Structure formats: structure tokens, C-alpha cells
Amino acid sequence: MSDYAVELRGVTKRFGDVLAVDAVDLAIEDGEFFSLLGPSGCGKTTTLRMIAGFDYPTEGSIQIHGEEMALQAPNERPVNTVFQSYALFPHMTIEENVGFGLAMKKVPKSEAAERVDRALDMVQLAHRKGTTPDKLSGGQQQRVALARALVNEPEVLLLDEPLGALDLKLRQQMQIELKDLQERVGITFVYVTHDQEEALTMSDRIGVMSGGRLLQVGASTEIYERPMSRFVADFIGDINLIPARVSGSDAVELAGAVTVMARGVDSAAGGRWLAIRPEQLHLVADGEATPSGMNQVVGTVVHRVYFGDSYAYDIDTAMGRVDVRQENHPGLALHDPGSRVTVWWNPAVSSLVVD
């Protein structure tokens, strides 16, 4: 039997004529913080709901710690969910909310009370246990939802965009808390989000979904730095995608007859794009020296936008318009719109991606 916490094989879900999830194969390790990332409608939530048992797959197998669960009812699965809207029971106190799962499992009252207290302590809400959910702020409700799921010590915790309703500051703080918590309790987290930054900062691994298919699975750095497809490259962070054609080993011909070096040339197949992150591009005034062994192309500055911590440039070059990000620091040379510049980058930081 497998050691995976969750294993999906050929999982497909159709709603009438709509193919929501298309033959997804996925293995999530025990104790892993795994994120399913994708735009709305990509099938990530449906995938999570099938793991939870709220939807049944049309085809395929879902195993949780080696046990087939595809058609089990939600209450028969060793998983718990933190819902996007928190789904706290409005007619129960915080204590009753958190104790609900234990009561259903018929855990002895004294033990249940103790575990509820511990769970509420963990999310620093022990002092609010007598109140009802509507008296709590969004962040507090979120914590209760987390405690309500974790108190049951599930084998896998499923989280459906749990931070989506919080404002930015609180969301960033909760991201750190969640990651901390996951490391402390050691439970496998499957986290659904459309927010790439959230996925990158918290996850051990990320699975990127689009159109019901799982496009790429890998560590955060892998997904960000070595995207394999145009969609993954484009969805996560800002990126320059330049039409490209392989013209030799390690050489790529770009639009405008610019030939550059790139890695991964032979692994790519079909339509190709050269993908480079804006922050990996460097700028010098035209005519200034660039380090040897680097790719370079000359262009004209179109726009320069100040972001406080950085400057963003739009540059017209022979291979098309590219975005460049330069971190702001004292002594940074600025280039005015209309001036000629050389854009250069390390061949190792670009990737060739398929359509």
C-alpha cells in the first residue's frame, strides 16, 4: 500500500456536459503542505471537494493513506475542511462549534472539553468560547474554523481559500501562522488558492491547475523558476513571454531574429516561448559594458513606473516589448523614457516553455 496521505488516480468529474476535473493524477506526501493553485473555474475546488467527499468523482480513484475513499460519505473520511466562508454554525457557541466533530464521534465529554480548550488555546481564542460566531471578526472566525477542524486530529486537513475573505495585512499574518501551525501539528495540509503569492510562501509543493487539468506539480521554487508551460509561467508572477524557436543546441531564435542562449532547449516540444521574469532582466545604458556570457538585446525605454521598493520599465526591443523590474536602492541608475538601453540576462534564468 502507498505511503501517500492522499493519492488521486485518473480522477475526473463531469457536471452534465462540463468537464470540471480532467483525469488528475496526484500524490501528496504525508505531512506535506500542498497547494492547488489556479484561476477560478480551473477545477481546484472541485478536486478538494472530491477529497472531502462533498462531490463524487465521475471516474477515478481517491485514496487516503492507502484506503479507497472515492465514494465514501464525508463523515466517513478521516479528513476535515476549513471552508472559504468558514461555515461556522451561527446557532452554536464557539465552544460548541469546535466541539461538534468530537461530539459526533462520541468522544467522552471530559476529554472532548479538554481537547476543545487546547484547540482554542492554540488559536488564542480560549477567552471567546462562550460567544457566538457573529460576535467575532473575520480573522477570529477563520481561527475558530481552523480549530474546529484541527481538534479532530484529521489525517488530512483540507483548506478551501481560507484566507480569501481577509484583508491583505491580516492575510499575510495568517499565512505565516498557518505555515507555523502546520509545521507544529505535522498534519498534511491540502490548500486551495488562486493567490499565487499565498501558494508560494506557504507550500512545500504546488500543483497548478487550469481547465480541469493538473499542469505542473513541484516545489515553489521549481514552479516559479522553472515553469514548464506558458500557462504556469504566466499565471504565477509577472513574466515576459517571447515567441521562440530552437535554432541549435542551447541556442534559441527569438522574434526579431534575436538569437540567445537558453537552457532546457531540447526538453521543450511543440510551440515554444522564452520565459524570463522581469526581475531577472538587468538594464544598462546603451554602450555600457555587460558581463560576458550573458544574453543581451538593445531597446528603448517606453515607460518607467515607480513602485517604492522598485521601478518597473517597459522596454521596446527587437524581440518585442519586455517588462523589467529593478529593485530600488541608493545609487540605482535610472533610465528616462526614450533613452536607449541594453537589456541583459543570465541564460540560466530563462526557460523555454510549451503552449
Partner 1 sequence: MATVTAEPTTAEPQVANAELEAAAAAADRRRGFLIALPAYVYLLLFFVVPFLIVIVYSFATRSATGATRLSDWNLRAYEKLFDSLVVEIVWRSFWIATITTLICLLFAYPFAYYIATRRPAVRNALLVLVMIPFWSNFLVRTYAWRFILGSDGPIGSLTEALGWEPIRLLFTPAAIMIGLVYGFLPFMVLPLYAAIERLDWGLVEAARDLYADGWTAFRKVTLPLTKSGIVAGSLLVFVPSFGAYVTPAILGGSKDLLLGSYIVTQFQQARNWPFGSALSIVIMLIMLGALMIRRRAAAEDV
CA distance 169 to 165: 12
- The one among 91, 169, 184, 329 contacting partner 1 by CB under 8 A: 91
Exactly one of 83, 165, 300, 348 binds partner 1 (CB under 8 A); that residue is 83
* 74 binds partner 1, rule: CB under 8 A: yes
Q: Which is nearer to partner 1, 155 or 204 (CB)?
A: 155
H runs (alpha helix) in 132-270: 138-150, 168-185, 196-202, 220-225, 230-235
Q: Does 188 bind partner 1 (CB under 8 A)?
A: no
C-beta closer to partner 1: residue 73 or 318: 73
Any contact of residue 100 with partner 1 (CB under 8 A)? yes
Q: How far is residue 279's CA from residue 84's CA, in Å, rounded to a whole number?
A: 33
Q: Interface with partner 1 includes 85 (CB under 8 A)?
A: yes
Q: C-alpha distances in angstroms, 203 versus 32, 89, 213, 220, 294? A: 8, 29, 20, 7, 32
67: helix, strand or coil = strand
Residues 320-349 that bind partner 1 (CB under 8 A): none
Is residue 226 part of the contact set for partner 1 (CB under 8 A)? no
Query: How many residues sit close enough to partner 1 to count as binding (CB under 8 A)?
Result: 25
263 binds partner 1 (CB under 8 A): no
3-state SS class at 354? strand
| Helix-helix angle 138-150:94-104, to 10 degrees | 20
User: Residues near 335 by Cβ (< 8 Å), separated by ≥ 6?
Assistant: 283, 285, 301, 304, 313, 341
* Interaction between residue 137 and partner 1 (CB under 8 A): no
The two beta strands, 213-219 and 205-210, are antiparallel
Strands 258-261 and 340-345: unpaired
Cβ 183 to partner 1, closest distance in Å? 24
Q: Is 104 in the site for partner 1 (CB under 8 A)?
A: yes
Nearest to partner 1 of 122, 255 (CB atom): 122
Provide the mask over 106-135, with x wherever binding to partner 1 is found by CB under 8 A and - wherever it is not. Answer: --------------------------x-x-
Interface with partner 1, residue 75, by CB under 8 A: yes
Select from 33-41, 50-58, 194-202, 210-218 the region that touches partner 1 (CB under 8 A).
50-58
Task: For residue 34, give the nearest of 210, 223, 177 by alpha carbon.
Answer: 223
CB nearer to partner 1: give 149 or 352: 149
Residue 80 as a binder of partner 1 (CB under 8 A): the answer is: yes
Q: How far apart are CA 108 and CA 284, in angstroms?
A: 70
- CB-CB neighbours of 24 under 10 Å: 25
CB of 148 to partner 1, least distance (A): 7
State the nearest-atom distance from the C-beta of 252 to partner 1, in Å: 49
Nearest approach in angstroms of CB 157 to partner 1 is 11
Work out the widest C-alpha separation in the chain, in whole angstroms.
Answer: 78
**Side chain identity at 299, as an amino acid letter?**
G
Q: Which of 38, 101, 207, 278 binds partner 1 (CB under 8 A)?
A: 101
Q: Which parts of this chain interact with partner 1 (CB under 8 A)?
A: 52-54, 73-75, 79-81, 83, 85, 87-91, 100-101, 104-105, 132, 134, 148-149, 152
